[in-house]
Amino acid sequence: MNINELAVEIHKNAVEHGWWEESRKFPEIAALIHSEISEALEEYRNGRPEAYVVVVDGDPADVPRMETDILKFGERKPEGIAVELADAVIRILDYTAAEGIDIESLIMAKHEYNKTRPYRHGGKKI
């Protein structure tokens, strides 16, 4: 599956789950992408791992623990820095599919252009 095909699948899922009952304007999409990035920052600030799930072993008195082995995630909701970044990518791909944008070609074109840029774009610090 290529990036455009993944984008179409992501958008189809968003439509099926009611997120496109009304048309969405770009400012709303941008804010939602930004919110996912902010959630990643909060995970980082809280010292959380890249990806984890919260596990309670069955007894309500048990203390919840974090499981970071992705093979043990099962049906649990993934959390963490990288998971929030994945959410941002999902939102971006959802939008590009909704708009019929060939995001794969644009990513490749921008990547090729970036290869031609000077080191740190001529001296930028960040």
Where are the chain's structural domains? 3-123
Distance of CA 125 to the CA centre of its chain: 26
Q: 73 or 29, which is more confident?
A: 29
CATH 1.10.287 given to domain 3-123? yes
Band of pLDDT at residue 26, cut at 50, 70 and 90: very high
Please tell me the predicted confidence (pLDDT) of residue 112.
98
Interval 34-73: pLDDT, tens: 999 999 999 999 999 999 998 887 776 778 888 898 888 8
Please tell me the predicted confidence (pLDDT) of residue 39.
98
Contacts of residue 96, Cβ cutoff 8 Å, sequence gap at least 6: 7, 103
Whether residue 79 contacts residue 50, with contact meaning beta carbons closer than 8 Å, is answered with no
Q: Kind of pairing, strands 65-67 and 53-55?
A: antiparallel
Say whether pLDDT at 123 is over 80.
no
